């Protein structure tokens, strides 16, 4: 057995490259990630002990959009440091007229769970959440991962 040191990176392949690149080049720095690379077909940002890469999808899929519940990624979630940060992300999304699946709200995933769920220009689901304290490892908390992931 080993003990990993967090998630190193996530790489997203997107259609509608120009719109997605603009979206992520605004969102990722707003979340505190710093640009490590920006090229013609991909970008890569690092911060908060992780990295996010976004790149143009293969030409065969250029007309496709993300399909929620299909095989592969369901959604990616960024961990905020406070409820107020989640609220700030919501305002950021509204200013950019991003599709918000649900505004900041409490959820049953863990005590104090608070999140906003939204989509990038091609429908990839993204979330920003805040969970205080020990979350699902708090004393007396039972966790059921079979809940509705939306």
pLDDT tens over the chain, length 150 residues: 989 888 899 999 999 999 999 999 999 999 999 999 999 999 999 999 999 999 999 999 999 999 989 999 999 999 999 999 999 999 999 999 999 999 999 998 888 999 999 999 999 999 999 999 877 777 777 766 655 555
Indicate the pTM of the whole model: 0.91
- Asked whether residue 2 is assigned to any structural domain, the reply reads no
In a domain, 47, yes or no: yes
Which contacts (CB < 8 Å, 24+ apart) does range 97-100 have?
Answer: 98/23, 99/123
3-class DSSP state for residue 12? strand
Domain-located, residue 120: yes
Is 80 part of a structural domain of the chain?
Answer: yes
3-state secondary structure (DSSP) of residue 86: helix
Residue from 79, 142, 87 nearest 110 by CA: 142
The answer to whether position 1 is within a domain reads no
Is position 34 within any domain?
yes
Let me know if residue 143 belongs to a domain.
no
Q: How many domains does the chain have?
A: 1
Residue length, the chain?
150
> Which domain range does residue 39 map to?
9-137
Closest CA to 123 of 148, 147, 98: 98
CATH of the domain at 113: 3.10.180.10
For 19, other C-beta atoms within 10 Å of its C-beta total: 13
């Amino acid at each position: 057995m080993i003990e990993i040191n967090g998630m190193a990176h996530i790489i997203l392949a997107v259609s509608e490259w120009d719109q997605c690149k603009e979206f992520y080049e605004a969102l990722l720095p707003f979340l505190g990630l710093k640009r490590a690379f920006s090229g013609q077909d991909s970008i890569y940002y690092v911060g908060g002990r992780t990295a996010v890469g976004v790149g143009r999808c293969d030409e065969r899929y250029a007309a496709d959009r993300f399909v929620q519940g299909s095989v592969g990624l369901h959604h990616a979630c960024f961990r905020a440091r406070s409820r107020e940060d989640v609220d700030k992300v919501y305002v950021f999304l509204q200013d950019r007229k991003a599709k918000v699946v649900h505004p900041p709200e409490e959820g049953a995933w863990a005590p104090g769970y608070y999140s906003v769920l939204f989509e990038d220009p091609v429908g990839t689901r993204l979330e920003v959440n805040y969970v205080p304290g020990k979350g699902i490892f708090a004393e007396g908390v039972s966790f059921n991962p079979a809940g509705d992931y939306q």
